[in-house]
Structure formats: C-alpha cells, structure tokens
Homo-oligomer: A and B are copies of this chain.
C-alpha cells in the first residue's frame, strides 16, 4: 500500500536523538530516509549501550526504516557526492551545533542555490538565531533552563529531571511538523525553505498550565508531586500490594467512585459532595480514601474501578507497559529482525492512519549497509566509479 510520505526523499545528517527521532517519524510514514554517517564510526549513538549482539539497542530503537550510507564530508570527493545527493532529495535534516554545516560549506544558503525547492530542517539546542545560538546543549541542560524541572518533583521537593529526554524528543516532533508544513507550502508553490527548531523553544511551548498560571498570577509554580492541584481525589493511593492512580475528574465520577470504594457514607456529605468542597477538605478526606485502598490489591482496584467507569490505572514500569493488552493490540511493541542483533523489539508507530498507514519495514541499518545501493540507484554510479571512490577512502 502507498504510504503518506512515500514520495519523499530525506537526506538525514542527524546524530543521537532529536534529529534521528524526527527522521524516524518521516521514515515510519513512508519517506525514504538516507542517513549519512561518518565512515567507520557512524552516529555517536551506535556506541551507546546496552548492546544486543554488539549492536546498540538505543541506536536500533530510533533508526528503523532508514538506509545508511557512510560519507566523509570533509573530503573533496565526499563533498561532491553530497552535492549530487542534494539535487535528488526533497528534505535535509541536521542537528549539528549551528554553524557546523556552514563550516563544511554546506549551509542552507549554499544548498538552496543547488536545489531551490529543498526543505532544510535544523534542530539545535538554542536555535539558529539569538545570543546562545552557538552554544552546545544536552537534554539535561535544556530541561534545567527550560522550566520543566522546576515544576516536576515531589511536593516541596527539588526540581526533578523528566526521565525520557523530553528536550530532544519534543524538538524532534516539532521539527517533523515543521518539515511537513513546509512540504505543504512547497506542494502549493514549488518553493523550499529553512525550518529552525530549538530545544529550548520547545520547552517553553509545552509548559501549558504552568505558563498560563505564571502570566495570570506572576507566581512561578513549584514541583507539586503527583496530586492534581485543583481536583480531588486525583492522585495515586497505596494499595495492599502497590499503588494505583485514580482520577475522579467530576462529581458524577465521585458518586461512582464512592459506590465502588465503600464510601457511600460520605458521598453526599456537605464537606465532600462537590469538587471545590473536596479540595477544601482534602486533609480530612484523604485518610478516609487511603484506608479503603489499603484493603485490596492494585489489580483488584484497577478492575473494580474500571468496571465502575472511574478513570484509574496502575503505575506501570516498562516491563508491565510492554505487556499491557491495549499496548499490544495497538501494535505499539513491534518485533523486528536485525541483521546482526537478531530478533528484537522496538516501539511501534503512534500515528494510526486508515488509508495510508505507516509501517516498520526494516530494522535499523548496520553502518554503511546501503552505500553501494544509494550510489548506484540514486546517483547512477557504475561499479567502476564506486571502486575508484572507495580507493579514496571516503566511505
């Protein structure tokens, strides 16, 4: 079946996370993504453990569906091949520190002369403009500067880093949106452009109610633990063998919750019958609820409350998540056969399209797996020409 982005050719100059995450999404949706890697070494993340048969599980998880070509971009022949490639592709994505592509003689100003319809997407720590532009950044630094740590953590506790590298991942997502928006513009006008996405900017963009609260009140929110600030009960409770998250989002759910939790005695209590009252009398209400939860297991509560229509769920660890029936039914855990690592599992595609669905067609490539294939099919090189180029040591 034809895929949404089947006609799109992407030259992928990215490494590690933000850039590769963006090009993975494009590849999942059908784009032909050609990953240009440094000869012998490849993407830095090929060295990140843990390994499966010597192959980085990390690299494999975000580089499926891509083709790998090695190329020494500092050599004259390597540069020449790169410029040939630029004429054949629709999109370039890179996540170097700003200025790096220019130093290589491959900045957007040069590339757009060669291919005016090229979409050039750059994902960087601080963006291609502004006083911090040239600074290096890591996810940890962006999470610190970007405010998300200041509102994550235990109540009264210290700012806490979000487990996944949300600074990189949101930049990858916004960059993918930028590329697709630019693609629509190009479909209408024939003209390419530059897409510039900064990890720090993306952090500002995802702060939602913390930002709204600050602008309304002038006060910076603090880590609030796992409790909702204005809905009660809306937090995890300890059970006889673990914890369960419950979300009694309105008064109708409160009635369902009380009936199932054996709290019929307080359902209409003038101290607890509406959400504002429950919020006001939280200190006396919480212990009553907590005592009930202690009397049964997480699994039992989860099934009883779900049956009763009360939003709730276990606090899954990664293993539990990968075995959840809904996650499996939605094909969010996919088995792939990797040339070296053998059969492994990677996350699936969260965008489900009814007519032109994405797909996981191939495992991540081994380094330079498709160099010859790309030279032949995309650039029309002959075996002899390839042999001569190889003698130069540029792959």
Contact = CB atoms under 8 A, between A and B. Distances in A.
Nearest to A214: B318
Nearest to A210: B318
Contact of A245 (B141, B192, B194): B141
Interface in A171-215: 173-178, 180-185, 187-189, 191-198, 200-215
Contact of A204 (B7, B148, B347): B347
Given A7-B188, A165-B209, A208-B165, A348 B178 contact: no
A344 B366 CA distance: 52
A228 B139 CA distance: 10
Interface stretch (A54-62, A75-83, A284-292, A378-386): A54-62
Count this chain's copies in the assembly. 2
* Binding site secondary structure of chain A: mixed
B215 A57 contact: yes
A360 B180 CA distance: 19
Interface string A127-162: 111111101111011111111111111100111111
A83 to B, nearest CB: 21
Contacts of A164: 148, 151, 206-210
Please classify how large the interface on chain A is, using the bins under 10, 10 to 19, 20 to 34, 35 or more: 35 or more
21 contacts: A29-B181, A52-B215, A140-B245, A141-B247, A141-B311, A144-B236, A151-B164, A159-B236, A163-B224, A164-B206, A164-B210, A173-B173, A180-B180, A181-B356, A195-B353, A202-B350, A203-B321, A204-B321, A204-B348, A205-B347, A220-B319
A329 interface: yes
Nearest to A127: B330
A333 B204 contact: yes
